[in-house]
Amino acid sequence: MIRIRTGEVLAIQDRRPGLTEILVRVEGKEERAINYDLLTGPVKPGDMVVLNTTAVYKKLGTGGTHFVMANLASPVRDVSPRGHIMKARYTPSQVKVLAVEEEDHPGSSSFRAADSLDGIPVVIASLHSMIAPAAAVIHWITRGRARVVYVMTDGGALPLPLSRLVFQLKEKQLLAATVTCGHAFGGDYEAVTVYSGLLAARSVARADIIIAAMGPGITGTSSTFGFTGLEQGELVNAVHILKGQPVAVPRLSFADSRERHRGLSHHTRTALGRVALVPCTVPLPVLGDEKRALVWRQLRESGILDRHRVVVVEENPTREALRSYGINVTTMGRDMDEDPEFFLAAGAAGAYAAGLFLKNAASMQGSPEEVP
């Protein structure tokens, strides 16, 4: 069920490509709402809008805002004739995109010629906030030489413009391009599946390193398999099939009060210990003795040590990179000072991927074919 109300736009609070944050008067209150310009067109003060108020009514966290369903001031809109792939299919908000798989797409020939990731590293994260430390560390270590492309799955938010973080990372040139796959939409490139999204990142967006993760928000429960972060294991399988190098970010925390997330989260233990069917690399940051003992016990008991390659990354400039690039990122409301291991783990994965890139670049320069 959807809780629907009509409101009046009072003010524009913020704009970024594809999204406008507005203040609306609804049910006698002034409250925040989000308008996706790609879906419902532009808005301005004085417009009457139809709002989905369900999330605010349910007092949700990440999704706790109103969303514009229609702008009554401009109810008639046309769409470009190019593209026929629909995302959020068979819903009132289904949106048409021009996907890389379609012949009309400018990158179609490059995409269709590709069937491999050519051995490049793919950093696979289970939460959206992990992409910032990973991207920052990659840029820091490679000095911007590695072209990093973000592949956003549909495990969290579907519209990419919702992410202030991606907007910030692109502005700072830490991400070169974005690909939205599945029902996610709004990236520089659109793809129908995770597989085609990964291939598009490599062949069309020309990625040297890919970061793959869901958009903002995650659906989770206290059950073993009832969380969308489970896709991390499936992404490991996909990267292996496409001949890339999967690098999985472990979800670490010693600040989360929930026992299932203490140390190595049950998200990681399930996704990598039970869902991932092929080996990947799991980088860890340096930990204190007591924390290290707990995490390694969890790695062993979950089966991750038997199935995957776990490495400890000694050189991990996560703090320096985030501070230098002016990136403020939180997880569950906690920043790096409050939950350092969470961010250091993502940075360790970025550092490991950056090392693979530099090693490959050095190998290419030193090969007989490349020597002048």
What b/e readout covers 225-262, taking b as 16+ CB neighbours within 10 angstroms? eebbbbbbbbbbbbbbebebbbbbbbbbbbbbeeeebb
Q: According to the model, what pLDDT value does residue 226 have?
A: 84
Determine the distance from the C-alpha atom of residue 347 to the mean position of all C-alpha atoms in its chain, rounded to a whole number. Answer: 15
- Per residue in 249-307, pLDDT (tens digit) is 999 999 887 877 788 999 999 999 999 999 999 999 999 999 999 999 999 999 999 99
For 54-112, what is each residue's pLDDT tens digit? 989 888 765 679 999 999 998 777 778 888 999 999 998 899 999 999 999 999 999 99
Find residue 336's DSSP bridge partners: none
pLDDT of residue 368: 45
Q: pLDDT-derived band of residue 372, with 50, 70 and 90 as boundaries?
A: very low
**Quick one: average pLDDT of 37-65?**
88
Contact yes or no for 302/266 (Cβ under 8 A): no
Pairing of strands 209-214, 189-190: unpaired
In which band, very low, low, confident or very high, does the pLDDT at 166 lie, cut at 50, 70 and 90?
Answer: very high
pLDDT score of 209 more than 80: yes
Q: What is the 3-state secondary structure (H, E, C) of the chain?
A: CCCEEEEEEEEEEEEECCEEEEEEEECCEEEEEEEEHHHHCCCCCCCEEEEECHHHHCCCCCCCCEEEEEECCCCCCCCCCCCCEEECCCCCCCEEECECCCCCCCCHHHHHHCCCCCCCEEEECCCHHHHHHHHHHHHHHHCCCCCEEEEEECCCCCEHHHCHHHHHHHHCCCCCEEEECCCCECCCEECCCHHHHHHHHHHCCCCCEEEEEECCCCCECCCCCCEHHHHHHHHHHHHHHCCCEEEECCCEECCCCCHHHCEECHHHHHHHHHHCCCCCEEEEECCCHHHHHHHHHHHHHHCHHHHCEEEEECCCCHHHHHHHCCCCCCECCECCCCCHHHHHHHHHHHHHHHHHHHHHHHHHHHCCCCCC
Q: Are 72 and 47 in contact (CB under 8 A)?
A: yes
Residue showing tokens 């048409």: 96
Question: Percentage of the chain with pLDDT > 90?
Answer: 82
pTM score, two decimals?
0.93
